[in-house]
Amino acid sequence: MLAATTTLAAGINSPASTVILAENEFVGEDGRPFTIAEYKNMAGRAGRLGYNEIGKAIILADTPVERAQLFQKYVLGRPEDVTSSFQQRNLPTWILRLLSQVRGVRAEEIPGLLANTFGGYSASLANPHWIRQVESDVAALVGRLLQAGLAEREGDLIRLTLLGRACGSSSLAFESSLRLIELMRQLDIVHTDPVRCSGSSRCLPRWTLSIRP
């Protein structure tokens, strides 16, 4: 038996014979109900093809009326259309995260990598000239990556440095990553007192950074 949060339940790659959903909404600041797609993703861990022929998914309801509503919405409902989380304004962040997943690529091949993502595919469908339009943006971004030390050239390949991969795998936006790097480089490491912790006291840094996501 495995008990999991909703986030883990949606992402865990493990089959199960029975899935029980005790809630139908996320708990915390978000607090929104599950989408139909999120419900089917979590419930779909039961009876996965290749592991079990039959699976059971149970969602708990407090009243017969709520049971009928949940069944109508989630079991009989049609999942929402899939949309890309990346927008054109987030192109630098998009490219940085994409490059963090490859070992090296020619600069002229980056637009093609974008086109092979779901977001790029959707953008190309909406505008057949989209790839050509972003080529100049990609070239300018590569220059910024090299200048900031987030990327380096190895022959004719562009590859992220260790710092670039750390930024690409983080949840920070590209501009926020650059700002954080600029602030960190301004620190005098030699004369900065380390944060010390004792016992069970919670460690608090002596300075904080305000970064926009």
Domains in the chain with CATH codes: 6-75 (3.40.50.300), 88-188 (1.10.3380.30)
Average pLDDT, integer, range 59-74: 94
Residue 198 pLDDT greater than 90, yes or no: no
At 61 the pLDDT is: 92
Average pLDDT, integer, range 112-122: 88
Q: What is the pTM of this model?
A: 0.58
Higher pLDDT, 210 or 43: 43
Facing residues of 93 across strands?
Answer: none
Q: Report the alpha-carbon distance of residue 130 to residue 44 in Å, rounded.
A: 36
At 5 the pLDDT is: 67
Residue 213 pLDDT greater than 60, yes or no: no
Which of 69-73, 108-112, 171-175, 184-188 shows the highest mean pLDDT? 69-73
- What average pLDDT does the chain have? 82
Provide the Cα torsion 142, 145, 148, 154; round to 10°: -90
At 53 the pLDDT is: 78
Higher pLDDT, 31 or 196: 31
Q: Report the alpha-carbon distance of residue 154 to residue 145 in Å, rounded.
A: 14
Q: Report the alpha-carbon distance of residue 24 to residue 22 in Å, rounded.
A: 7
Residue 189 pLDDT greater than 70, yes or no: no
H/E segment holding residue 160: strand 157-160
- Start-to-end CA distance of the chain, whole Å, equals 37
Residue 68 pLDDT greater than 90, yes or no: yes
Q: What is the pLDDT of residues 146-184, one digit of tens each?
A: 999 999 999 999 999 999 999 999 888 999 999 988 888
Residue 133 pLDDT greater than 90, yes or no: no
Q: What is the pLDDT of residues 6-60, one digit of tens each?
A: 666 666 667 788 888 888 887 766 678 889 998 988 888 888 777 777 888 899 9
Q: What DSSP string runs through 92-157? A: HHHHHHHHTTSS-B-GGGHHHHHHTSHHHHHHHHH-TTHHHHHHHHHHHHHHHHHHHTSEEEETTE
